[in-house]
Amino acid sequence: MFVTAQRTLLFINYHTVAPVQGPPVPPTLSQRLAAVVKQLRTAMGTHGLQDPVSQALLILLFNHLGRALHRFASLAQRVAAGTAAIRKRPPPATPRPAAAKPPKLTFPRRWCWLFKIAPGHQMAAGRGHLRILLADPDMAAFLEVAPQAARLFRPLCRILGIAKAPDLPTILFPERPKRAPKPRAPRPPKEPRPPRVRRKPRPIQIYPTQTWQEREALDRELAEWHANRRPYVPPKPSKIALAPQSQFQQPEPRPRPPPWRGNMMGR
């Protein structure tokens, strides 16, 4: 009985026709975006374990990517079903009083701030894959049908540093009009300043203005003084004790040489 059952299974396996495999189905935009989000999340998780200082901001961005992915998948389903529509909220009849809300955590407004917190080749690869997805013609056609999806990618472009380019949809980078400058109060007229009196600049003397004739005359005068001066002879010690000199009596000063006037070279 066991042998019969085994032969039956072999017969079924041998004569079973394998299903014909068709061409591979390309992934949808939601699946491609999910792969990009997974890669970015993996890079943030790897860096968050190494740097605990930026964990709070990375966790906030981790959850934001999950919500953006869920909203994009839901929007893609509604576009495929033909039920997606842009709804404009009518302005309220009476303005509501602003309710006190707790402070909300927001991302930095700096350009490409994620690479300064979590740099690495894995984060750069995630940015490149996201840019390839945004440059895909299917994504451009999807944004034309559902332009509200651009609000999901604009923060990611600013966070990852994806700049405006010809191959990217223009709806991702809208041109915002510049704000008009605030009117300033007129300033009182300033009092006129008195005319500035420019003084004549003094000549800069790098070397002393002394001719060679003056230097030779000074050298002769100094040599004559050395030749005519009296040699100094120390006094002999006296055997008789001299009376102490008065405090007002000062010794005769020794003659001093003439003033030395020369240039910077010692002449």
Domain boundaries, the chain: 27-84+107-172
The answer on pLDDT for 57 being more than 80 is yes
Range with the lowest mean pLDDT among 46-55, 182-191, 252-261? 252-261
Cα–Cα dist 103/12, whole Å: 68
Q: Say yes or no to pLDDT of 148 above 70.
A: yes
Please check the confidence at residue 2 and state whether its pLDDT lies above 50. no
Rounded distance between C-alpha atoms, residue 81 and residue 109, angstroms: 36
Q: How far apart are CA 172 and CA 165, in angstroms?
A: 10
236: left (phi over 0), alpha (psi -120 to 50) or beta: beta
Contacts of 43 (CB under 8 A, 6+ apart): 118, 120, 122, 123, 126
> What mean pLDDT is reported for the chain?
76
Report the predicted TM-score, pTM, of the whole model to 2 decimal places. 0.55
**Res. 91 pLDDT band, cuts 50 70 90:** low
Cα 72 to chain centroid, rounded? 32
Question: pLDDT value at position 94?
Answer: 67
- Residue 73's SS3 state is helix
- Distance (Å, whole) CA 118 – CA 102: 28
Tokens 């000549």 map to which residue?
203
Tell me the mean pLDDT in the region 47-70. Answer: 82
Specify the pLDDT at position 251.
Answer: 67
Q: Give the chain's largest Cα–Cα span.
A: 157
Specify whether the CB–CB gap between 129 and 39 falls below 8 A.
yes
pLDDT at 104: 67
Query: Which two tokens mark 138?
Result: 């299917």
Cα separation, 53 vs 117, in Å, equals 10
Alpha carbon 27 to its chain's center: 38
Would the pLDDT of 92 be above 80? no
8 Å CB contact between 61 and 107: yes
CA angle at 21 for the pair 19 and 26, rounded to the nearest 5°? 145
Residue type, 44: M
Q: Residue 40's CB: how many other CB atoms inside 10 A?
A: 25
